[in-house]
């Protein structure tokens, strides 16, 4: 997924839920779906010269779901619209 595709999808979700500010979570490991909270977003390159390559946008996740939630993500998180 590219940054512009992510922005487009997040913009669409924001417009559909304009009365709320939804929490952002990460669903990972689809064969045993787990969830985590997003803790940081960074654009990083692989080497010291930031102009050498385009950066990769990383969504950093916490180690686990919040204590009051199930650690499992819904399988439908991988469904495409």
In a domain, 49, yes or no: yes
The conformational region for residue 29 under phi > 0 = left, psi -120 to 50 = alpha, else beta, is left
Whether this prediction's pTM lies above 0.75 is answered by no
Domain that holds residue 51: 23-74
In a domain, 81, yes or no: no
In a domain, 27, yes or no: yes
Asked whether the predicted pLDDT for residue 10 surpasses 70, the reply is yes
**Span 33-67, pLDDT tens digits:** 888 888 899 988 876 656 667 888 999 988 666 67
68 pLDDT band (50/70/90 cuts)?
confident
Residue 14 is predicted with a pLDDT of 94
In a domain, 8, yes or no: no
In a domain, 14, yes or no: no
Residue 48 is predicted with a pLDDT of 60
Compute CA distances 67 → 9, 26, 35, 62, 72, whole Å: 28, 16, 12, 12, 12
């Amino acid at each position: 997924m590219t940054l512009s595709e992510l922005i487009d999808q997040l913009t669409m979700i924001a417009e559909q839920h304009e009365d709320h500010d939804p929490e952002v979570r990460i669903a990972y490991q689809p064969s045993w779906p787990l969830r985590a909270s997003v803790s940081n977003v960074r654009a990083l390159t692989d080497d010291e010269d930031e102009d050498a390559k385009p950066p990769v946008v990383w969504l950093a996740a916490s180690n686990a779901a919040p204590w009051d939630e199930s650690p499992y993500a819904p399988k439908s998180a991988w469904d495409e619209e």
